[in-house]
Amino acid sequence: MKKTLLITGGIGYIGSHGVVAFETAWYETVIVDNLCNSSIQTLYGMEAILGYRPKFYEGDIRNTELLTQIFESHTFDGVIHFAGLKAVGESCEQPLLYHDNNVKGSLELFKCMQRYQVKKIVFSSSATVYHPGNLIPFTEESRVGGTTNPYGTTKLILEQMLEDLALHAGFQVMNLRYFNPVGAHESGKIWENPQGIPNNLLPYILKVWGGELPQVSVFGDDYDTIDGTGVRDYIDVVDLIAGHVRAYERMDDSRWKFTSYNLGVGRGISVLEMISLVEKVVGKKIPYIITERRRGDIGEVYCSPEKARGELGWKSETSIETSLKNSWNYYVANS
Residues assigned a catalytic role: 151
Structural contact between residues 66 and 57, judged by C-beta atoms closer than 8 angstroms: yes
φ, ψ of residue 117 in degrees (nearest 5)? 60, 40
CA-nearest of 218, 331, 238 to 282 is 331
Secondary structure tally for the chain: helices H, strands E: 12, 13
Distances, alpha carbon 252 to alpha carbons 1, 20, 127, 305, 313, in Å: 15, 21, 26, 22, 16
Question: How far does Cα 136 stand from its chain's mean position?
Answer: 21
- Which ranges of the chain would DSSP assign to H, the alpha helix? 13-24, 41-50, 64-73, 88-93, 95-98, 105-115, 150-168, 201-209, 237-250, 271-282, 306-312, 320-334
CA angle 153, 129, 290 (to 5 degrees): 90
Rg (CA), the chain: 19
CA atoms within 13 A of residue 99's CA, in its CB half-sphere? 9
Structural contact between residues 89 and 141, judged by C-beta atoms closer than 8 angstroms: no
Q: Which residues in 276-310 are b (16+ Cβ under 10 Å) and which e?
A: ebbeebbeeebebeeeeeeebbbbbbbbbbebbee
Report how far residue 87's alpha carbon sits from residue 93's, in angstroms, rounded to the nearest whole number. 10
Structural contact between residues 162 and 152, judged by C-beta atoms closer than 8 angstroms: no
